[in-house]
Structure 1
Amino acid sequence: MDLLALTDFNLVARHGGFGRAARAAGRPKATLSRRVADLEAALSLRLFERGGRMLKLTEEGRALHERTGALLTELDETAASIAAGGGRPRGPLRISAPLVFSQTAMGRLAASFALQYPEVRFEVTTEDRAVDMVEEGYDLVIRVNPASDESLVGRAFLHDRLVVVASPDVPRSTDDRAVPAVVRDRIGGSASWDVTAQAGRTRIAIEPVLRLSSLIMVRDAVRAGVGAARLPISLVSHDLSTGRLVHWGDVEGSQIALWALYPSRRLLSTRVSAFLDHLKAAFPTGTPEELAAYVSG
């Protein structure tokens, strides 16, 4: 079996198409197509179902990908480690990160990384949408509670949770009357919040008075006393400790995980590895309290 053809087959299978695989590897699409065709001929098997713009693994192709992908990854990582010879990361590193994390933590992270690795050309783009890493040329993305994606791997490096907070001047309703609220929901969002506090589980009826697109704006509005809001504990921890805001309870089922994602371990560059280690060093335990201390620091 041609090892190079098998490698190209796994590259195409991992990225879900010849075009995406070609862009990710910087290889001609025609070369990848020919290599996969040669492999199919050598095995007398059809590995992909080809139809229009769609490309789907056959049952045999899926089995081959599952059984050989990990082996090729291990070989590639071993060779890369030997070739690197302990060299320092250099070259471009493009990262996409969510808005709130970028506004509160990414500036310091980027600066300390740049000081540690001056030969890396570091670029951070702030956006909450699910970017296409291959199509848009990102090396790594940071996302909140990302949906499962077979084409991406990564790790959760931070955790947070939502709490309901308000200014001490905002009275909490003692009956079923709605309290003024600042929300990120669009029109037609939830009319109540389920929270857990010292008194137990309760439901807070709300009447949105402001709808804002940024959690930073929501926090500033709550500080001004316009109403209550659901916010990450890391974003309001300092306000709670000083009494500027009051904790009404934890939002049920609101665990938040920040993930660092990249297309493949096989394509993991020394630059991405260095940044993942940088995240681990900045947040060794990954707790909400650790993030809050980093944000307030």
Structure 2
Amino acid sequence: MDLLALTDFVTVARHGGFGRASRASGRPKATLSRRVAELETSLGLRLFERGARMLKLTEEGRALHERAGALLTELDETATAIASGGSKPQGRLRISAPLLFTQMAMGKLAAGFALKYPKVRLEVTTEDRPVDMVEEGYDLVIRVNPDPDESLVGRAFLRDELIIASAPGLVNTAGEVVPAVVRGNPGPTRSWTMTTSVGSSSLKFDPVLTLSSMTMVRDAVLMGVGAACLPLSLASQDLETGRLFRWGNVEGSETVLWALYPSRRLLSAKVSAFLDYLKQAFPSGTAEELAAYMEK
């Protein structure tokens, strides 16, 4: 297989068209078109569906792009590492992370990493949705309780849980409906299963305030609007100072943060460096450790 033709195919697939690929790579549009056509002929497969105004990968083209893109990236990074005299972290590092984690810790993490590895150009995007790492060009993603994915490997680096808490003035009276601050649509089930040292119970609530982020929920709870489910890491400092009172834990609410990356035989130096930096920042991986990191 012609490696240059394969590279041109990946470039066209990544940019979604011959024109955009030509402008991004500096290679003539006609050359890219010819190379892709030659690759299709050699494979006996149609890799793109060509419309009047659009270019779309076929099923076979999508499969080839996913595998070839990862392999070519690995080859390029290996060549770069050899040329630079070893596995020195350098180049662009794109990371996708969930909203709450970015609000709590990612700014400090990114700044510290940038100072330690000045040759790495770190880019962090906030995404709660499951991104496609290959299609969207990410080197690493951070996700909460991710579904199994055979194309990705990763490491768990933080564990958290949800608690039910309120400002000290709000009383939990047995059998009464509790005013609550919720994130997003609470759905038809207006109750939490709460566990304490004496067992578990159902706590009915009335969503008097609906907000779009956990930090907003915590701020509203501190004002005494109602009770809420909050990550222990987010509430930990307020629990210690007495600004929040912990009613109990939400049953079965453990959350695990994973750092995920494509399953490759060789892991790039920049990704390895960031994984090591996460481990140094959170050696125990507890919710209290994340809370303490925020206060440093």
What CA distance in whole angstroms lies between the structure 2 residues aligned with 1:76 and 1:92? 13
What CA distance in whole angstroms lies between the structure 2 residues aligned with 1:264 and 1:84? 24
Which AA in structure 2 matches 1:285? S
Deviation at 1:287, TM superposition (A): 1.5
On the 8 A contact 1:235/1:295 being kept in 2, the answer is no
Cα 1:78–1:120 change in 2 (3 A) is closer
Deviation at 1:288, TM superposition (A): 1.6
What CA distance in whole angstroms lies between the structure 2 residues aligned with 1:189 and 1:233? 25
Tell me the equivalent position of 2:141: 141
Tell me the equivalent position of 1:214: 213
On the 8 A contact 1:96/1:127 being kept in 2, the answer is yes
Unaligned runs of 5+ in 2: 4-20, 28-41, 50-54, 64-73
Per-residue CA deviation, residues 106-152 of structure 1 (Å, 9 max, x unaligned), is 11111111110111111212232222222322211111111222222
* 2:107 is the counterpart of 1:107: yes
What CA distance in whole angstroms lies between the structure 1 residues aligned with 2:79 and 2:125? 31
Which AA in structure 1 matches 2:268? S
What CA distance in whole angstroms lies between the structure 1 residues aligned with 2:85 and 2:280? 23
What CA distance in whole angstroms lies between the structure 1 residues aligned with 2:113 and 2:235? 26
Deviation at 1:57, TM superposition (A): 9.7
What CA distance in whole angstroms lies between the structure 2 residues aligned with 1:220 and 1:190? 24
What CA distance in whole angstroms lies between the structure 1 residues aligned with 2:96 and 2:126? 6
Aligned to 2:164, the other structure's residue is in SS state: strand
Which AA in structure 1 matches 2:119? E
* 2:175 is the counterpart of 1:185: no
Per-residue CA deviation, residues 47-67 of structure 1 (Å, 9 max, x unaligned), is x9x9xx999999xxx9xxxxx
Per-residue CA deviation, residues 83-110 of structure 1 (Å, 9 max, x unaligned), is 7654421111111111111111111111
Aligned to 2:226, the other structure's residue is in SS state: coil
Tell me the equivalent position of 1:32: none
Tell me the equivalent position of 1:93: 93
Deviation at 1:254, TM superposition (A): 0.4
Cα 1:266–1:158 change in 2 (3 A) is same
Which AA in structure 2 matches 1:135? E
What CA distance in whole angstroms lies between the structure 2 residues aligned with 1:178 and 1:188? 16
Deviation at 1:237, TM superposition (A): 0.7
Q: How does 1:60-209 map to 2 (within 5 A)?
A: 85-175=85-175, 177-186=176-185, 188-209=187-208
Deviation at 1:188, TM superposition (A): 2.8
Say which is worse superposed, 123-132 or 237-246, in terms of deviation. 123-132
Cα 1:189–1:111 change in 2 (3 A) is farther
TM-score, normalising length from structure 2? 0.74
Cα 1:107–1:236 change in 2 (3 A) is same
CA RMSD of aligned residues (A): 4.4
On the 8 A contact 1:98/1:143 being kept in 2, the answer is yes
What CA distance in whole angstroms lies between the structure 2 residues aligned with 1:106 and 1:274? 16
On the 8 A contact 1:181/1:208 being kept in 2, the answer is yes
Deviation at 1:187, TM superposition (A): 5.6
Cα 1:82–1:88 change in 2 (3 A) is closer
Aligned to 2:95, the other structure's residue is in SS state: strand
Tell me the equivalent position of 2:34: none
* 2:238 is the counterpart of 1:239: yes
Per-residue CA deviation, residues 229-282 of structure 1 (Å, 9 max, x unaligned), is 000001111111111111111101101011111223346321111101100111
Which AA in structure 2 matches 1:254? S
Cα 1:78–1:123 change in 2 (3 A) is closer
Tell me the equivalent position of 1:17: none
Cα 1:100–1:194 change in 2 (3 A) is same
Deviation at 1:185, TM superposition (A): 3.3
**Identity rate, percent:** 63
Provide the aligned length of Structure 1 versus Structure 2: 291
On the 8 A contact 2:140/2:260 being kept in 1, the answer is yes
What CA distance in whole angstroms lies between the structure 2 residues aligned with 1:150 and 1:77? 23
What CA distance in whole angstroms lies between the structure 1 residues aligned with 2:59 and 2:137? 25
What CA distance in whole angstroms lies between the structure 1 residues aligned with 2:132 and 2:246? 38
Per-residue CA deviation, residues 201-249 of structure 1 (Å, 9 max, x unaligned), is 1110000000100000000000000100000001111111111111111
What CA distance in whole angstroms lies between the structure 1 residues aligned with 2:86 and 2:131? 32
TM-score, normalising length from structure 1? 0.74
